[in-house]
């Protein structure tokens, strides 16, 4: 009887997380519709110089607030196990953190523009070694950016402290760094494989929120006892 109850609780927990991840991921996609639309638009208007500026601007305006809210929602479900994801809860995090996420985006996005632009030029003009070096620097910055979302969703820091502590966290634990990279590779690979099957909707409902769950879980198990000033919702 006890075995059956444990099995039922396990199944219930899995189904609850599937629901949570799908709601959070769907809300994240909805908030990023302007950015997604313009990225698709640029595929047909790549010769227009205007399209170089707009994705960066839309990333600041939509991607950063939406992703900060995504990580905050994941944190809420993970730490407060009785909590369930909801559109109302996601919007609460989105509105509450919008201005600060905007500032973070204004600082981070120019670096991404520089990395991607220089990588494009390097490979276009066959400076392969330089292109590969920029790629690996971008990989480091990807983990740093991901950790910014995690730290912002979990702790209360001034903006300067946020960037400094995230830098220490990013390069202070090689195991965490590699684990986040492997999590990203896993989610991207699964999404790519499923995009050619009947499970195409995996990306729509789970991919981003699943990666956020992996990342935050890895971070939380590693650093929650080290860095003080926990954010309370």
- Name the residue with tokens 């198990």: 221
Low-confidence ranges of the chain (pLDDT < 70): 1-8, 10, 43-52, 81-83, 85, 195, 197-204, 224-233
Rounded to whole angstroms, the Cα distance separating 59 from 159 reads 19
Residues counted in the chain: 233
What is the 3-class SS of 155-201, one letter each residue?
Answer: ECCCHHHHHHHHHHHHHHCHHHHHHHHHHHHHHHHHHHHHCCCCCCH
pLDDT on residue 231? 53
The pTM of the full predicted model, rounded to 2 decimals, is 0.87
pLDDT on residue 232? 45
pLDDT on residue 200? 67
pLDDT on residue 66? 96
Q: Please write the tens of the pLDDT for every residue from 62-87.
A: 999 999 999 999 998 888 765 676 78
Rounded to whole angstroms, the Cα distance separating 55 from 27 reads 20
Burial (CB count <10 Å: 0-12, 13-18, 19+), residue 101: buried
Rounded to whole angstroms, the Cα distance separating 74 from 149 reads 11
Query: Torsion over CA of 37, 38, 42 and 43, rounded to 10 degrees?
Result: -20
């Amino acid at each position: 009887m006890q075995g059956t109850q444990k099995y039922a609780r396990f199944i219930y927990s899995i189904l609850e997380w599937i629901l949570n991840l799908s709601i959070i991921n769907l809300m994240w996609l909805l908030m990023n519709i302007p950015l997604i639309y313009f990225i698709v638009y640029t595929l047909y208007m790549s010769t227009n110089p205007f399209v170089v500026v707009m994705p960066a601007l839309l990333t600041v305006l939509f991607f950063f607030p939406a992703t900060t809210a995504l990580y905050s929602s994941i944190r809420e479900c993970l730490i407060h196990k009785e909590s369930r994801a909801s559109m109302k809860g996601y919007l609460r995090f989105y509105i509450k953190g919008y201005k600060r996420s905007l500032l973070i985006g204004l600082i981070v996005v120019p670096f991404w523009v520089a990395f991607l632009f220089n990588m494009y030029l390097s490979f276009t003009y066959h400076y392969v070694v330089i292109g590969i070096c920029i790629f690996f620097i971008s990989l480091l910055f990807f983990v740093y950016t991901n950790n910014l979302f995690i730290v912002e969703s979990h702790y209360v820091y001034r903006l300067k402290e946020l960037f400094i502590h995230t830098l220490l966290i990013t390069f202070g634990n090689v195991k965490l760094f590699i684990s986040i990279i492997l999590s990203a590779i896993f989610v991207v690979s699964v999404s790519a494989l499923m995009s050619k099957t009947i499970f195409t909707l995996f990306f729509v409902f789970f991919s981003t929120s699943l990666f956020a769950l992996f990342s935050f879980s890895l971070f939380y198990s590693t650093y929650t006892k080290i860095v003080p000033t926990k954010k309370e919702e």
